[in-house]
């Protein structure tokens, strides 16, 4: 991918696309393309925080791992989204492990290039702060859900939040049922029990890698 191609990717990414074209060009000139297979590790929790990543194709997942090897799925990073803003802000270690959820292509922008651009760009500083604030709000909400919502309500809220096919109520995801269960802090058996309950109530139908929301309003009322 040449520099113009990298620029086109950044122009439609979640927050870099809001920057002036001059800033986008500076970042595009410093970016490099990385390709990962499904299941391949992009970086590990504790690695040096030396870059910002922009997803070009596919999707990634962010995991937090305990010393005992237990995993908590923190987020799924989709096409056009970024990961690594915290490392840009403080230069510290990676706070999570990133794994390719599907075959994926990403742009890697070195931290030094982002900081050099930010020295001349109030707009870049603004979108970095907005992105960090969005992440903190999401993690705060997820933590509250783990405490205040039972597993079926967490599953219902997840279904309502996942992307839907254009113009439909079909939720499609590349995540396995185990990964969906990790997303809500539950076992696969508990996830399946919740899905089957919703299906018996006529709220959803479950297929291979997709869920059709037949009655989203009832799901929303159930979540409360």
User: Please, what are the domains in the chain?
Assistant: 3-146 (2.60.120.10), 150-223 (1.10.10.10)
**DSSP-assigned letter for residue 202:** T
Instruction: Kindly indicate the confidence band of residue 46, based on its pLDDT and cuts at 50, 70 and 90.
Output: very high
What is the pairing mode between strands 210-213 and 204-207? antiparallel
Query: What is the per-residue pLDDT across 53-76, written as a single tens digit (0 to 9) for each?
Result: 999 999 999 988 878 777 788 888
Least confident of 43-52, 165-174, 205-214: 165-174
Q: What is the pLDDT of residues 101-130, one digit of tens each?
A: 999 999 999 999 999 999 888 899 898 888
153-194 pLDDT, tens digit per residue, is 999 999 998 888 777 788 887 788 888 888 888 888 999 999
Question: Which helix or strand (DSSP H or E) is residue 33 part of?
Answer: strand 32-36
pLDDT at 12 over 80: yes
Pick the closest to residue 43 from 30, 52, 31, 33 (CA basis).
52
* Per-residue pLDDT, 73: 83
Is pLDDT of 208 > 80? Answer: no
Of 95, 94, 55, give the one whose Cα is nearest residue 76: 55
**Which among 40, 21, 31, 157 has a CA at the least distance from the CA of 82?**
31
H helix intervals, the chain: 3-11, 21-30, 85-90, 111-118, 122-148, 151-161, 177-183, 188-200, 216-223
CA–CA dist 24, 48 (Å, integer): 24
């Amino acid at each position: 991918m040449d520099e113009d191609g990298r620029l086109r990717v950044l122009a439609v990414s979640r927050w870099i696309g809001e920057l002036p074209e001059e800033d986008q060009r500076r970042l595009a000139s410093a970016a490099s393309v990385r390709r990962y297979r499904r299941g391949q590790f992009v970086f590990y929790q504790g690695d040096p925080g030396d870059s910002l990543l922009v997803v070009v194709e596919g999707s990634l997942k962010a995991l937090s791992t305990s010393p005992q090897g237990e995993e908590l799925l923190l987020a799924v990073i989709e096409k056009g989204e970024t990961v690594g803003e915290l490392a840009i802000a403080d230069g510290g270690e990676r706070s999570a492990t990133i794994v390719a959820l599907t075959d994926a292509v990403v742009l890697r922008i070195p931290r030094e290039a982002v900081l050099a651009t930010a020295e001349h760009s109030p707009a870049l500083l603004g979108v970095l702060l907005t992105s960090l604030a969005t992440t903190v709000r999401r993690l705060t909400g997820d933590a509250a859900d783990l405490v205040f919502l039972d597993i079926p309500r967490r599953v219902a809220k997840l279904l309502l939040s996942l992307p839907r096919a254009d113009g439909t109520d079909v939720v499609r995801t590349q995540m396995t049922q185990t990964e969906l269960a990790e997303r809500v802090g539950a076992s696969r058996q508990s996830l399946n029990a919740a899905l089957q309950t919703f299906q018996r109530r006529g709220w959803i139908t479950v297929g291979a890698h997709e869920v059709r929301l037949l009655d989203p309003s009832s799901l929303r009322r159930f979540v409360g």
